[in-house]
C-alpha cells in the first residue's frame, strides 16, 4: 500500500466549478463561486493520536509516516493536492443565514482507491474565506467527539461521514465553551474526515439564493452524473430529489433506531447523499425523552429535539425542493416527491420497530403495540439502550411479578404504582404477542440484538475520555475506540454498558453541550 503522501489526489470538483483561486483567507462574501482556495495553517507540534486502520485499508493507505502526519496536520501539501474550502448557504434554526461555508474545514482533494473516490478533509486546519469571525481551529474536546462518533455511527450501520485520523497540534485554542463569558484555553486538534462527497442541501441553496440558475443546473447535473449515475433522461433532477427524500427519510429512521440526536439539523448540515454530516453537540439518548436536545443553543424551543428530527428533515427537504424548483416549469412534481416522505418514513419506521421488537412481521395491531411502546417509554423514560437489550429477555411465558426486577437496571427513577402498572401492562402485551410469532424466540432475539445496540457512545463516557486525554492518559479513549467497533456484541466492555450516573445528569459536557468547538 502506498503512503498517504504518495497517493494521487484528484480535484474534479474544483476543475468543474468556478472558484476563487487567490488563496485569500480574509473572511468575505464570494458571490458566484462554490469554493475558495485555502491553504491549511501549519501547527507547532503535530502528533498522531488516532488512526482508523480499516478505513485506511479501504483507501489503500499504509500506516502514517512522519511526512503523512505533517499532511494530516496541515503542515504539508503535496503537488497533487488543491486544498479548498467549499462555499454554501443554509437555513439555521429555521432562519435563512445567507452565505456560509467551510470556516475551518479544508478539503485536500479526492483520493481514488478500489473502493471508490473519496474526499479527504481536514477539520480545524485554520481560517478560510468563510471563517467569519472565527480562527478556523478546532479543540481536542470537539475533535475527539467527532472522531469517535463518526466511527461509532459507521459500525452501528448508519450512513455517515468517517474519520481517518486525529492529530493533536501542540497549540492552545481560546474557546468560550458555553458562550457565558468564561473563555479558556484548550488543546487544539485536527480530524481528517472522509466521505464520497460533502455536498449539502446548502450547496444548492447558495446558487438558488444568488439566482445563478445555470450554475444550479450544472451542479445538479454534475452531482447526478457523479453520485447518481443510474439516473438519466429529462426527469433526472426530479428523480434525484426523490432519492434524496428517500435517503433522508430512512436516515431519520436509523437515528430513531439507536436514539441518536444530531443537535444542529440546519440545511447546511444535511447531506445530498443521505449521510450523517457535521457532528457538533450530538448525543445518544440516555433516558427515553422525545424532548431531549443536547444543544444549549437549541433552548428553549428545542427545534432539534429527538422527537422532532423526522419533521425537521421534512422541513429541510422542503427548502431543497424550493431551491430545485428554479429548474422546473411545473414544480408540482417536486411537491409530489416531497409528499412521499411521510409514507417512506413511516413504512421504514414500522419495519425498524418490528426488528427492535423481534417480530416476524408487522401487522396492523402491531402498529398499535408499537405506539404503546413509544407512549409508555416516553412517560417512564427508562434508559433506551438498556431497555431494548433487556427486552430480549422477555418470553411468551414471562409473568407479571418478574417484570420490574428484570428491567430494574434500566430505570433512572422509581416508578409509582400507576407507572409500574402501565409498564407491566406493556410488557405483558408484548409477551402475548410473542405467543403468535412464526419464528423461534431464539431467532427473534437474534434479530433484536442485531438492531438494538448494547454499546453506544454516551456523552458522560466521552467527557471522561476527553478529561483523561487532556491529562495525558488515553486508556478510556482507546477502550471506546475498540468497543465501538462491535456495538451489538453480547459480552465484554461491561463498564461501558451502564446507564448514565447521577453525577453526569447536570454536568456540563455530559448532559448539554454547545456549538463551541
- Which entry of 20, 68, 102, 268 is annotated as an active-site residue? 268
**For residue 382, what are the CA distances in angstroms to 153, 257, 359, 445?**
22, 15, 22, 20
424 is in an annotated binding site: no
Please, which contacts does 206-213 make with residues 24 or more away whose CB atoms are closer than 8 Å? 206/34, 206/87, 206/88, 206/89, 206/99, 207/34, 207/323, 208/322, 208/323, 208/324, 208/326, 209/89, 209/96, 209/98, 210/31, 210/32, 211/326, 212/32, 213/326, 213/327
C-alpha span between 399 and 395 (Å, rounded): 9
What is the distance of C-alpha 122 from the center of its chain? 17
269 is in an annotated binding site: yes
Strand runs (DSSP E) across 227-347, as ranges? 260-261, 283-284
- Nearest C-alpha neighbor of 106 from the set 30, 14, 215, 44: 14
Q: Is the peptide bond before 300 cis (omega within 30 degrees of 0)?
A: yes
Cβ atoms of 306 and 284 within 8 Å: the answer is no
Indicate the burial class of 293 (C-beta count within 10 angstroms; 0-12, 13-18, 19 or more): buried
Nearest-10 Cα torsion for 95, 343, 290, 281: -50
C-alpha span between 215 and 349 (Å, rounded): 37
**For residue 139, what are the CA distances in angstroms to 166, 168, 170, 337, 354?**
11, 9, 11, 41, 41
Bridge partners of residue 112, in order along the sequence? 117
193 is in an annotated binding site: yes
23 is in an annotated binding site: no
136 is in an annotated binding site: yes
**For residue 64, what are the CA distances in angstroms to 47, 89, 167, 290?**
11, 35, 11, 43
C-alpha span between 188 and 102 (Å, rounded): 18
- Nearest C-alpha neighbor of 200 from the set 310, 91, 295: 91
361 is in an annotated binding site: no
417 part of the active site: no
351 is in an annotated binding site: no
102 is in an annotated binding site: no
Residues annotated in a binding site: 101, 103-104, 123, 135-136, 193, 200, 269, 278
Q: Which residues are catalytic?
A: 268
Residues annotated in a binding site for Mg(2+): 269, 278
Residues annotated in a binding site for ATP: 101, 103-104, 123, 135-136, 193, 200, 278
Amino acid at each position: 500500500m502506498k503512503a498517504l503522501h504518495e497517493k494521487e489526489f484528484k480535484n474534479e470538483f474544483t476543475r468543474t466549478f468556478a472558484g476563487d483561486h487567490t488563496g485569500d483567507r480574509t473572511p468575505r462574501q464570494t458571490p458566484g463561486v462554490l469554493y475558495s482556495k485555502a491553504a491549511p495553517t501549519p501547527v507547532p507540534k503535530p502528533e498522531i493520536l488516532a488512526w482508523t486502520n480499516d478505513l485506511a485499508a479501504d483507501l489503500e493507505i499504509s500506516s502514517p509516516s512522519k511526512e503523512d502526519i505533517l499532511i494530516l496536520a496541515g503542515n504539508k501539501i503535496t503537488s497533487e493536492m488543491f486544498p479548498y474550502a467549499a462555499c454554501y448557504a443554509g437555513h439555521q434554526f429555521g432562519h435563512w443565514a445567507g452565505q456560509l461555508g467551510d470556516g475551518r474545514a479544508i478539503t485536500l482533494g479526492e483520493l481514488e482507491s478500489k473502493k471508490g473516490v473519496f474526499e479527504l478533509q481536514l477539520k480545524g486546519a485554520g481560517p478560510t474565506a468563510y471563517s467569519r469571525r472565527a480562527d478556523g481551529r478546532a479543540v481536542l474536546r470537539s475533535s475527539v467527539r467527532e472522531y469517535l462518533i463518526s466511527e461509532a455511527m459507521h459500525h452501528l450501520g448508519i450512513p455517515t461521514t468517517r474519520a481517518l485520523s486525529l492529530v493533536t497540534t501542540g497549540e492552545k485554542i481560546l474557546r468560550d465553551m458555553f458562550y457565558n463569558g468564561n473563555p479558556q484555553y484548550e488543546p487544539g486538534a485536527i480530524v481528517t474526515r472522509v466521505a464520497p462527497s460533502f455536498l449539502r442541501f446548502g450547496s444548492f441553496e447558495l446558487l438558488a439564493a444568488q439566482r445563478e440558475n445555470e450554475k444550479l443546473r450544472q451542479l445538479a447535473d454534475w452531482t447526478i452524473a457523479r453520485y447518481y449515475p443510474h439516473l438519466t433522461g429529462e426527469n433526472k433532477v426530479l428523480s434525484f430529489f426523490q432519492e434524496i427524500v428517500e435517503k433522508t427519510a430512512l436516515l431519520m429512521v436509523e437515528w430513531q433506531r439507536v436514539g441518536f440526536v444530531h443537535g444542529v439539523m440546519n440545511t447546511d448540515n444535511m447531506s445530498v447523499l443521505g449521510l450523517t454530516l457535521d457532528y457538533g453537540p450530538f448525543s445518544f439518548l440516555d433516558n427515553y425523552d422525545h424532548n431531549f436536545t443536547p444543544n444549549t443553543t437549541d433552548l428553549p424551543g428545542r427545534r432539534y429535539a429527538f422527537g422532532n428530527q423526522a419533521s425537521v428533515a421534512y422541513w429541510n427537504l422542503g427548502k431543497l425542493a424550493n431551491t430545485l424548483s428554479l429548474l422546473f416549469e411545473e414544480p408540482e412534481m417536486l411537491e409530489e416527491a416531497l409528499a412521499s416522505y411521510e409514507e417512506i418514513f413511516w413504512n421504514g419506521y414500522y419495519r425498524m420497530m418490528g426488528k427492535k421488537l423481534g417480530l416476524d412481521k408487522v401487522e396492523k395491531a402491531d402498529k398499535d403495540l408499537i405506539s404503546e411502546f413509544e407512549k409508555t417509554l416516553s412517560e417512564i423514560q427508562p434508559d433506551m439502550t438498556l431497555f431494548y437489550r433487556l427486552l430480549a429477555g422477555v418470553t411468551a411465558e414471562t409473568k407479571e411479578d418478574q417484570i420490574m426486577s428484570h428491567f430494574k437496571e434500566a430505570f433512572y427513577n422509581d416508578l409509582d404504582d400507576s407507572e409500574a402498572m402501565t409498564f407491566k401492562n406493556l410488557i405483558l402485551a408484548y409477551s402475548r404477542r410473542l405467543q403468535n410469532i412464526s419464528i423461534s424466540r431464539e431467532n427473534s432475539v437474534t434479530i433484536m440484538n442485531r438492531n438494538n445496540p448494547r454499546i453506544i457512545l454516551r456523552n458522560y463516557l466521552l467527557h471522561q475520555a476527553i478529561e483523561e486525554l487532556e491529562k495525558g492518559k488515553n486508556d478510556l479513549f482507546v477502550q471506546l475506540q475498540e468497543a465501538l467497533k462491535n456495538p451489538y456484541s453480547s459480552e465484554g466492555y461491561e463498564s461501558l454498558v451502564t446507564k448514565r450516573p447521577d453525577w453526569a445528569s447536570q454536568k456540563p459536557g455530559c448532559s448539554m453541550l454547545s456549538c463551541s468547538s
